[in-house]
Chain A
């Protein structure tokens, strides 16, 4: 063990890009890039196109973050679900779903819905905007913590789907003719779009650029 630790010490804070290596996005294999040029080079193991960094990471992530922020407005203002009970329709927005549980004293569920549908998408967008700006300003502020923030946005995005699933299940179950029916409304489509676009946005951001910019001397 001590031998391997000494061996890795020889590469003290040396990055793959500085040593002219590119790691494959698909299989993780490290490939040597003589001259640091990778255009058109393919992974020797799995044949995927190699890139030193995800291509156009900043531009792509910005575009997707802005698109998600635009969809976020109608997702919250428009009703996501319409409940028709005895011929009388009531429209529910995401927030009114939270309020419903609060009024019935069911604060744990109110908290679940609030976290999944309102807090998670907002935090995801806020973190991505913060990371994008910090990278563009070549900030060297706490790269470990910023990398951790990135991993958090990657892990939590899926939980925003809870509300979409609640609507799907209610639509399926409540089909009682004149007595009660439930329909999905336009807000749900925008909300689904926010979830999908933010997942793509997190995927297109390359966390390695946090380190590239903060430590130019290692290049």
Chain B
């Protein structure tokens, strides 16, 4: 009996003999309902395209004005990183580091690592340091919190509207698009398919 299609549930350790999951379908654990396997449609090609789009949006979101604040003729123009820099200079390095990790470093790693793995694979090469790339990608996913930041933006805007007007900039719109595109890239990325392609080689 080949053990290649034998899998254990990550949540309850139940063994399953898993037939090939068709594209666009998922397999769930019979006992606890946790996801065993998901095979997205055109997974790797679509992921590569979405990751490339994410990298452009990420650069735009970081290079252009994010939010501006107007109060009695005085205005403040900010970028995505302004708050991090201010917190760092004000002696709140812990918070600055946490915010930097969750809205800059982790998303950048997600995009970079997906490209790192899928770029070479597209040209039939084995990605360099593949296990490490997958491990870092998993950690990056835990700490990437762009969608939570968006809720933070909305709350802050409502709070500040009582004082003055808040003007959204180009980077904010790019940031909103980035959340959608990066989420799509991550959910269509299937590491198992990368392994299958590499192991399928003669």
Contacts and interface: CB of A to CB of B under 8 A. Distances in A.
**What are the 5 closest A-B residue pairs judged by CB atoms, nearest first?**
A165-B152, A16-B8, A172-B83, A168-B83, A46-B131
Interface of A: 1, 4, 7-8, 10-11, 13-17, 19, 21, 23, 26-30, 32, 45-48, 100, 104, 106, 109, 112-113, 116, 143-144, 147-148, 150-151, 158-159, 161-177, 179-180, 183-184, 188-189, 192-193, 195-196, 199, 203, 207-208, 210-212
Given A30-B3, A163-B152, 14 more contacts: A1-B19, A13-B31, A28-B191, A48-B131, A112-B151, A159-B151, A162-B151, A168-B87, A170-B156, A174-B76, A176-B76, A179-B71, A189-B95, A192-B95
A4 B19 contact: yes
A171 B12 contact: no
Interface stretch (B45-53, B109-117, B119-127, B157-165): B157-165
18 contacts: A1-B19, A23-B10, A27-B131, A27-B134, A30-B8, A112-B151, A147-B32, A161-B145, A161-B149, A168-B99, A169-B153, A170-B159, A170-B160, A172-B83, A173-B160, A174-B69, A193-B94, A199-B142
Contact of B11 (A113, A151, A168, A184): A151
Nearest to B93: A189
Interface of B: 3, 6-8, 10-19, 30-34, 67, 69, 71-72, 74, 76, 78, 82-84, 86-87, 90, 92, 94-95, 98-99, 102-103, 130-131, 134-135, 138, 142-143, 145, 148-149, 151-153, 155-156, 158-160, 162-163, 166, 191-192, 195
Contacts of A168: 83-84, 87, 95, 99, 152
Given A150-B11, A161-B148, A169 B67 contact: yes
B99 A11 contact: no
A143 B17 CA distance: 22
A148 to B, nearest CB: 8
A180 B7 contact: no
- Which among B15, B18, B31, B135 has the greatest number of chain A C-beta atoms within 10 A? B15
B95 A165 contact: no
Contacts of B162: 104
Contact of B86 (A47, A164, A171, A212): A171
Contacts, number: 195
Contact of B13 (A106, A188, A212): A212
Contacts of B148: 158-159, 161-162, 165
Contact of A144 (B33, B98, B135): B33
A192 B163 CA distance: 27
